[in-house]
Amino acid sequence: MALLTVRAAADRLGVAYSTLKRWIATGRVRTSRTDGGHHRIADAE
């Protein structure tokens, strides 16, 4: 399972970075976090 950055996932989905960040904040998209606190999104999501 590949993990994508928020920007890479937004590009793949064809949505704006800010839209994907909003979806993460509202729980519409699930993420995992790196040790540094950055979001990563599973390729299957």
Average confidence (pLDDT) per 10 residues, the chain, 45 residues: 94 97 97 96 83
Question: What integer pLDDT is reported at residue 6 of this predicted model?
Answer: 97
Question: In this predicted structure, what is the pLDDT of residue 1?
Answer: 76
pTM for the whole structure? 0.85
Identity of the residue numbered 20: L
Domains of the chain: 3-42 (1.10.1660.10)
Q: Which pLDDT value is given to residue 45?
A: 60
Residue 30: predicted pLDDT: 95
Of 29, 32, 34, whose CA–CA distance to 45 is shortest? 29
